[in-house]
Structure 1
């Protein structure tokens, strides 16, 4: 990664999310969508172009004799590796940033009438007393709290809650971490990824699942569009603004980031696939 500057792939995904979200916030501030769709608009503009379409494009591109790598096999291997290397960051962004942005507002529901923009906290007047859904935890025994083991557990539990690790450690993220560990450790790589690996069936299973992933995603998308494409409460103006921002404003920003990185020497020289 350090010698070939491939660390820029996940870093680029983060920069693309930041720049896209800034564009989304600007667009949402101008068009002022309904209150319940303000953050929705920002998220769909900011991360809407992060998806699995590049995998389809790579498969088609590498079958062409004039592909960037020359060799179709090497083209597929490099292209899938580069795209996958950036997508695991997209999974982390999805389960952290997007999850928080689409969480219900303080009012408890998105559908609030007579409001255009969200507020950070509800008004101070006429606020019902908040009752916790779960009872407070029972007090710990004094000897457990004062013990070294109890302090360590309490500190780890505090970190677990503050960092929201339960939310972050989702199956796609765990799988990505395991894949990088296996690929980076020579012993584990020989057990799973080489042609004569004793556990090669794991790799074959992943390849089979990977080939059916995109058709399944498209089927699920089609199922979601059975009633109608979109929500009537979103409005035509907001829908048009999201499409315009994603297709016209966000791509030049991404191209600008990559071009600047190339000018600064962050991209590997001579790597046409990159």
Structure 2
């Protein structure tokens, strides 16, 4: 497979994302006014509650069986490592460049959460269909590759809607705290020279009372905050995140895919309830276009008002396309040498590609959902997806050279 054919193949999904993003940007302009802020928020809620869960369930129930889950056990470990190393280097980037506090979670999320779904689903079949591909049997390559990609998308969604979801939610809390402190500062007591002596005494007494309340409240919280209460609070938070619609749909999809009789109810030409699977898949197909249009709509405002420094963008690009791929090669080769992987080069190729992807598009859904860092997210996505066309091509060539 030549470099230029590989470049064309790897860049096609990126170009699709950019073209739809440009359309979304035009739709959000004042001239068209088809995607104003209120519309984007409403559409984003539909994506979160309906489209994304449908996509997760349909792909899992159809392509992943119980035997697959057992034999592909290293894939969730591999994806977990992409999140772990991405988070470590994202955290270091935050500590070095110090963006605004409410943007720290966004930066770490874009460094750690890769687009493990639609890009792999597009790239793998394209590689399998290409003349001169090292994966010789095109039909088997497409079928198995689609299963790998669907499993990757489902696992990635599980990580994203638990770990990344928590990062963005924490960022929104920091933003609200910042806005609250600014509002309190604007309402601070008048201590100017024009204020009377009685006014100053009253203000001082109020401050003393507030400090006493904070002190006694802190003491009570310290005494009452037992270890088990903290554990229960943590478990409650995890359960709350697992109940997010995409995560819940992924769990149900795993169940239907793993249990044969449930799977046969909805999957296959002779399935009595196949209309359910077809309907859910039809809904899921709307996920990627809607997310991309929303990102494009946010991009217009982001180019005008983004507070991200260029060094942060460069740092995210370097982490995603230089540091993580190098780590990925080492991880997959080490796992292969230890006999932890199936004897399938395509499986190893997918594992390596998981370290090389641009940020997950669901991050944009979360920033819109929590109303934090939407413009900055769009700017990060613009540059990381532009760089992805060249990075995916170069690393795909390197991965095939290593594996063959």
TM-score, normalised to structure 1, is 0.72
Pick which of 24-33 and 158-167 moved more: 158-167
* In 2: Cα distance, 1:44 partner to 1:112 partner: 27
238, 258, 264: which one aligns with 2:332:
258
Confirm or deny that 1:75 pairs with 2:141. Answer: yes
User: How many residues matched?
Assistant: 237
Between Structure 1 and Structure 2, the one with more helix by share is 2
Match of 2:253 in 1: 179
- Distance change in 2, residues 1:245/1:273 (3 Å): closer
1:80-121 per-position Cα deviation (integer Å, ceiling 9, x unaligned): 2212222333223223222332312397137989xxxxxxxx
3-state SS of 1:226 partner = helix
Give the unaligned 5+ runs of structure 1. Answer: 114-124, 131-154
Q: Distance in 2 between matches of 1:245 and 1:187?
A: 44
CA gap of 1:271–1:111, structure 2 versus 1, over 3 A, is: farther
Superposition deviation, residue 257 in structure 1: 1.7
Return the offset for 1:129: 4.5
Distance 1:272 1:86 in 2: 13
Could you tell me which residue of structure 2 aligns to residue 20 of structure 1? 86
Q: Secondary structure at the match of 1:225?
A: helix
Give SS of 1:197's match.
Answer: coil
1:1-274 to 2 correspondences below 5 Å = 1=67, 5-67=71-133, 68=135, 70-72=137-139, 74-102=140-168, 103=170, 104-105=173-174, 108-109=177-178, 129=214, 162-229=236-303, 232-274=306-348
Deviation at 1:232, TM superposition (A): 2.7
Whether the 8 Å CA contact 2:97–2:312 is kept in 1: the answer is yes
TM-score (norm 2): 0.51
RMSD: 3.4
Give unpaired runs (5+ residues) of structure 2.
1-66, 183-209, 216-228, 349-404
Distance (whole Å) between structure 2 residues aligned to residue 271 and residue 24 of structure 1: 30
Deviation at 1:22, TM superposition (A): 1.0
- For the residues of structure 2 that align with 1:127 and 1:246, how far apart are their CA atoms? 49
CA contact (8 A) 2:129 2:138 kept: no
**For residues 43 and 201 of structure 1, what CA distance do their matches in structure 2 show?**
37
